């Protein structure tokens, strides 16, 4: 009986801790959501940041202003971010999955060396690569283009390592059976092994799409024309030495979160399965 009570108390304690952590994580976004409806931002920043928001302070004016801002600049940035995110995610998932799968499932000369080189790049700070990467992108005339934003980081060592770990849980018997049926190696990957890696694909789609969507530094360096900005770069222009447009900043921030939330809920089940299996296999 005491063990039952202890187990019950333990579950209650864990639930309380998780609820507090969830509240701490969601609190800033909920506050952002609420103040995005405030019309007069001077009331929010009058004495620091006001936590008391009354109903009469709220309206949809910020979102109406966002729709009308500079001939729809915000939604131009929004579409740029979508294009960059889709392109980055497709290229990253395609190439990294093949590299991780190939290193795991095949034996070849230099395999260990390649694996060490891939993993060693994870220890190099991205900031140290900014100047040489920009010079390379400029040499190929890819500045102010989607490919200039996407290509330098499309094949990431972490993503390769994740697929490598997940592929270790797959049986090579499937490959042998497909070879007997006359399938080539590329067809084996696409039609036999890739469907077995669906949880890994779902997990990496969410992580890579979120990375591309939230990236700020590299698009800021590559894109110099305001109409080519991604959303993270463009939305920063609402803060300037000549004045801060917090109405557009907060409303735009709320809208920018919607695609990521939709993507997560669409792939939630497979995402959790992929993270768990990719993390413990190997």
Q: What residues contact residue 282 under an 8 Å CB cut-off, 6+ apart?
A: 165, 168
pLDDT score, position 117: 87
Cα–Cα dist 31/49, whole Å: 11
Q: What is the band of 240 on the pLDDT scale with cuts at 50, 70, 90?
A: confident
Domain 61-280 -> CATH class: mainly alpha
HSE (CB half, 13 Å, CA atoms) of 71? 2
pTM greater than 0.95: no
Per-domain boundaries in the chain: 1-26, 61-280
Where do the DSSP E strands lie in 35-134? none
Cα–Cα dist 205/91, whole Å: 11
| Structure-block tokens of residue 77 | 């940035």
pLDDT in tens, 223-232: 988 888 999 9
Q: Which whole number is the average pLDDT over 12-22?
A: 88
Give bridge partners of residue 211 from the DSSP assignment: none
């Amino acid at each position: 009986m005491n063990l039952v009570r202890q187990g019950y108390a333990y579950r209650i304690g864990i639930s309380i801790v998780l609820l507090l952590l969830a509240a701490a994580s969601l609190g800033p976004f909920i506050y952002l959501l609420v103040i995005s409806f405030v019309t007069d931002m001077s009331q929010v920043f009058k004495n620091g940041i006001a936590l008391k928001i009354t109903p009469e302070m709220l309206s949809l004016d910020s979102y109406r202003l966002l729709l009308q801002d500079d001939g729809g600049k915000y939604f131009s940035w929004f579409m740029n971010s979508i294009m960059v995110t889709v392109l980055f995610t497709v290229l990253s998932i395609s190439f990294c999955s093949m590299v991780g799968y190939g290193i795991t499932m095949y034996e070849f000369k230099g395999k260990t060396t390649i694996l060490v080189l891939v993993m060693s790049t994870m220890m190099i700070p991205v900031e140290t690569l900014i100047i040489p990467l920009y010079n390379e992108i400029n040499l190929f005339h890819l500045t102010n283009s989607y490919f200039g934003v996407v290509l330098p980081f499309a094949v990431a060592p972490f993503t390769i390592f994740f697929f490598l770990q997940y592929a270790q849980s797959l049986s090579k018997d499937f490959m042998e059976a497909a070879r007997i049926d006359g399938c080539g190696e590329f067809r084996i990957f696409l039609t036999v092994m890739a469907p077995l890696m669906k949880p890994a694909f779902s997990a990496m789609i969410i992580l890579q799409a979120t990375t591309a969507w939230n990236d700020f530094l590299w698009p800021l360096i590559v894109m110099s024309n305001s109409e080519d900005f991604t959303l993270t770069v463009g939305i920063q222009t609402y803060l300037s030495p000549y004045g801060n447009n917090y109405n557009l900043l907060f409303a735009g921030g709320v809208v920018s979160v919607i695609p990521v939330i939709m993507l997560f809920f669409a792939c939630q089940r497979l995402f959790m399965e992929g993270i768990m299996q990719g993390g413990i296999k190997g």
